[in-house]
Structure 1
Amino acid sequence: MNKKYILLSGLMLFSLFFGAGNLIFPPFLGLESGSSFGPAITGFLITGVLLPFMAIISVSLSESGLISIGNRVHRIFGLIFAILIYMSIGALYGIPRASNVAYELGFIQIIPLDNRFSLFFFSFVFFAATYLISLNPKKMIDRVGQILTPVLLVVLSILFIQAFLQFHSPATSPVEKYATSPFINGFLEGYFTMDAIAALAFGIVIINGLKDKGAKSKQSIVKGTLGAGILACTGLAIVYVSLGWMGVVIPKEMPLTSGAEILVVASNTLFGNGGSLLFGAIVILACLTTTIGLTNACSRFFNEIYPRISYKTYVGIFVLIGLLVSNLGLELVIAIATPLLILVYPFAIVLIILSLFQPFIGYSKKMYQFSILLTSFYALYDVLVSIGFDPIILEKWIGVMPFFENGLGWVLPAFIGAVIGYTIDRIKLRANHLKTTYSKTK
């Protein structure tokens, strides 16, 4: 596999991951953690970088992407799970949300004009660019990896270098949650970015991109994906640490209440009137590359499961949905998509981890089934809470698990289910082997 294409794939993957949420989470973590920044950002990198990297690798090891991972539980589960992933992280959430964030934190910073016409004008141009770049998936690596990502990295580098030279404020005392458990809370902040779900969607974009550039064998695809994943995640780690560090050392002459506010103040402090232009450019580029990746991923996925509609038609459909939702009803769509994300996220992490262990311990269908079954109780509980119900009876049964209050109560049950299922399959396999051996010796 050509090293140039692996490099470009890594650059593209970095920009697909690096959306607006990834831009504004680390600075606020740095501000709140203060002198406890080290353990806090370490926890964040584990779930915000390592977990998505594991997701990319698990997709590359599967036979047909995300569906085949879900098929290890059941064929119907695999299809429904994949559709929910692509609709929730893409069409119903990620795509229109990226446009709105680019408008609110990017366009308005450059041109302080906020009305329905300016929103429509910006979103029309934004989605027109998304449509044109996504139209030919075989050129995705070239257009995003060679052009958009380097521009994004240059703009970010200008901000980081100036911040390093000019910001020297001492770290403040951490807020309560980072004073008591900085690593755990950093870990949870990275967990709640939900980038592992995005990684499941983006994995197939990288794989298809490598195939378009000549990768044929399973070995070359896995090797190329591994290389791209290492490059992208190394870049993400460097950027996250830099953004977080800015939150630690930024002058705190006025109260700062969000990551976006930190970056706006930093840009204006460092570059004066040009700071708004710099920050706006970073946000728009970050959101555009993410939207392009999600549009490509969703279009290729649905084209594979229903090829009667062409890839280009799917691109048009998702771009049109994004344009309409951005202008008419993003809040309603987010209200629908958020419970879906909460539902599928624990399932996604369980499947990622089991998929990575499978090459070493062997395949076990019941390992997947039992683990997903026990996880489903916690996913269902979190969904009910997110839509306003208070399932007290269910909480009595499942609330005894460690980390339940942090939204991670499913971790131990998922592990127990995996061990039970794997043990049952191995006992059956051993019994069948003994039975076969006995029959041959008779």
Structure 2
Amino acid sequence: MKKKLNFSQTLLIGSLLFGLYFGAGNLIFPIEIGQNSGSNLYLVTLGFIISGVGIPLLGVVASAISKSDSLFEMGQTAGNKFAYVFTSALYLTIGPFFAIPRTSTVAFEVGIASSVAKEKIRMYLLIFSLIFFTIVLIFSLKPGKVMDNIGKILTPAFLVLLSILVIFAIVKPMGELGTNKPIDTYQDNPLLKGILDGYNTMDALASLAFAIIIISSIRKLGVNNPNRIAIETLKSGVICLIAMSLVYVSLSFMASSSVGIMDLGNNGGRILSKISKHYLGDLGKYLLAAMVIIACIKTAIGLIISCSEMFVEMYPNSLSYKTYAILFTVVSFLIANLGLANIISLSIPVLMYLYPLAIVLIVLSLMTPIIGKNKKIFKTTILFTAVFSIFDFLKALPKPISGSNIVINILSFIYGILPGFSIGFGWLVPAIIGFIVGIILLRLNRENIRSNNM
């Protein structure tokens, strides 16, 4: 039995983890905060890294530390019903309903749409997404080669393309950093705003899904001891953390320096396109298209593999891996053709509900060496979080619903009694209370057992 990975293997797993996480959304959102955060650039970027890098890393490590091979196994500590419902909801969210379709539509809008007449957009999106998902499916049907396909080929290719643009920005900056006034939403609580912006990457949710790929990849390299797997996961995660943080900082700073020579943009893809054209002319358009398409393809492959393997594990007597992979690819293709704006608007309320549950599950799993896999603590903490996250879900719904009288009255009451609700963290205090309640119930149960044994 192999005891640990060597450096090149650790680097390979780190590259695989980076490749799975880093999609087009990870390119676009740092660009947006770079321009919009103005003089609050540093705090917003730090917040974005905390939730966009730190929490996803903890998610993978939590799975290894809790000796859970998958999100489903991790969630079973809170009960089988929760495990089935939460795992299914999370995988469908980061899979065929939202994240996978977004990879195709973002790749199209950033890399292709600017060269297409408006009246032909839908037709070209259909053609592009068909080719895109055909490539994704071909790779996804060979999950055993995911390390080679993503870790050795796609991730290095993406980093080379991105480095070209970043080097230009470093050698010849467009202007000073953080000189503009932050837009309204970035003026107050910039650190917390950055953390909430990190939700948009969906990486904390994806970390719970990708854990199954990372852990199985480490095992394939000969490491089988659960404690050693946790250590190797952490080592590879640190490499991924450093790489992603450097990319996020580079992108946000590059966008911030562009404010002096171009108008503020409302879309990270358009901003990035302008920056590419500024440095490289028409060549920049092709460089950007290649960069975004590669980033999206590798993320979509990882998501299709993760979703298919998880549903096979949860429902072993239903469909085969190949059937799930084809089904999720087809559904993703159909939803992608609804357009990027519709996908994003529908995903935000779901993210505001699922993210707190994911964060709490990660924290509890990290604490298993101290609290163990105690069902009472897991159940009460998650129950309190689930109930109070409903209000964040309501607040994020489209205006026709969130602006209705009944929802306004409910939210007005919650604003007055729930600390942190106005800044998107109304679930935090209830989660802490649920944790305390779980500990109290555990101790009372132990005292009752002792009394009965006396």
Report what 1:138 is aligned to: 144
Amino acid at match of 1:348: A
Q: Is 1:161 paired with 2:167?
A: yes
For structure 1, the residue ranges without an aligned partner over 5 or more in a row are: none
Partner of 1:428: 445
**Aligned residue in 1 for 2:51:** 47
Question: Who is 2:290 aligned against?
Answer: 281
Q: 1:25 aligns with which of 13, 22, 29?
A: 29
- 1:268 counterpart = 2:277: yes
Partner residue, 1:96: 101
Query: 1:282 Cα deviation (Å)?
Result: 1.3
Picking from 330, 333, 345, the partner of 1:323 is 333
Task: State the partner residue of 1:83.
Answer: 88
- Look up the equivalent residue of 1:91 and give its one-letter code: P
In the alignment, the residues of structure 1 paired with residue 186 and residue 334 of structure 2 have an alpha-carbon distance, to the nearest angstrom, of 40
Structure 2 SS opposite 1:72: helix
For 1:419 and 1:406, locate their aligned partners in 2 and report how far apart those are by CA, in whole Å: 23
Structure 2 residue 231 is matched with structure 1 residue 230 = no
**8 Å contact 1:378–1:398 — kept in the other structure?**
no
1:357 is matched with 367
**Local SS of the residue matching 1:383:** helix
**Matched-pair contact (CA < 8 Å) for 2:174–2:261:** no
Shift of 1:194: 3.3
Contact 1:167–1:251, Cα closer than 8 Å, also in 2: no
Contact preservation (8 Å) 2:60, 2:233 = yes
- C-alpha change, 1:104 and 1:329, in structure 2 (3 Å) is closer
1:2 aligns with 2:11: no
Of the candidates 140, 145, 155, which is equivalent to residue 149 of structure 1? 155
What TM-score, normalized by structure 1, do the two folds share? 0.91
CA 278–134 in structure 1, closer or farther in 2 if over 3 Å, else same? same
> Is 1:71 matched up with 2:76?
yes
Deviation of residue 319 (structure 1)?
Answer: 1.4
Query: What is the CA-CA distance between 1:99 and the residue it aligns to?
Result: 0.8
Distance 1:261 1:336 in 2: 22
> Are positions 1:296 and 2:305 aligned together?
yes
Gaps of 5+ in 2: none
Please give the root-mean-square deviation of Cα atoms over the aligned residues, in Å: 2.4
Give the 3-state SS of the residue equivalent to 2:37 in structure 1. helix
Moved more, 331-340 or 163-172: 331-340
Aligned equivalent of 1:37, options 34, 41, 60: 41
2:323 corresponds to 1:313? yes
1:200/1:125 CA distance change after superposition, 3 Å: same
SS in 1 for 2:78: coil
Aligned to 2:262: 254
Please name the residue that 1:367 is paired with.
377
| CA–CA distance in structure 2, aligned partners of residues 184 and 251 of structure 1 | 23
CA distance in 1, matches of 2:122, 2:257: 38
CA distance in 2, matches of 1:340, 1:43: 21
- Structure 1 residues 70-97: Cα deviation after superposition (integer angstroms, max 9, x where no partner): 2222211111110001111101111111
1:131 and 1:315 in contact (8 A); partners too: yes
Separation of aligned partners in 1, 2:419 and 2:200: 18
User: Does residue 123 in structure 1 map to residue 129 in structure 2?
Assistant: yes
Work out the CA distance in 2 between the residues paired with 1:155 and 1:187. Answer: 27
Whether the aligned pair in 2 keeps the contact of 1:6 and 1:227 (CA below 8 Å) is yes
Once the 2 structures are TM-superposed, how far is the Cα of residue 264 of structure 1 from its aligned partner? 0.9
Q: 1:383-433: per-residue Cα shift (whole Å, max 9, x none)?
A: 334151543246525742222012210101101110121122023224534
- Residue number in structure 1 paired with 2:180: 173
Distance, in Å, in 2 between the alignment partners of 1:212 and 1:179 is 48
Between the aligned partners of 1:417 and 1:284, the Cα distance in structure 2 is: 43
Confirm or deny: 8 A CA contact 1:107 1:284 kept in the other structure.
no
SS state at 1:371 partner: helix
Residues 409-418 or 123-132, more deviating: 123-132
2:69, 2:215 within 8 Å by CA — same for their partners in 1?
A: no
The match for 1:381 is 391
Would you say the 8 A contact 2:353–2:393 is kept in 1? yes
What is the aligned residue count? Answer: 437
Moved more, 292-301 or 9-18: 9-18
Cα pair 1:138 1:212 within 8 Å, conserved: no
Aligned residue for 1:83, secondary structure, equals helix
By how many angstroms is 1:147 displaced?
Answer: 0.3
Q: Is the 8 A contact 2:389 2:426 kept in 1?
A: no
Q: Is the 8 A contact 1:346 1:379 kept in 2?
A: yes
Query: Could you tell me how far apart the structure 2 residues matched to 1:336 and 1:192 are?
Result: 12
Aligned twin of 1:201: 209
Question: SS of the residue aligned with 1:320?
Answer: helix
Distance 1:213 1:42 in 2: 34
The letter of the residue matching 1:295 is: I
Check conservation: 1:67, 1:78, Cα contact below 8 A: yes
TM-score, with structure 2 as normaliser: 0.89
Provide the residue aligned with 1:221 in structure 2.
Answer: 229
More off after superposition, 171-180 vs 143-152: 171-180
Q: Percent identity?
A: 38
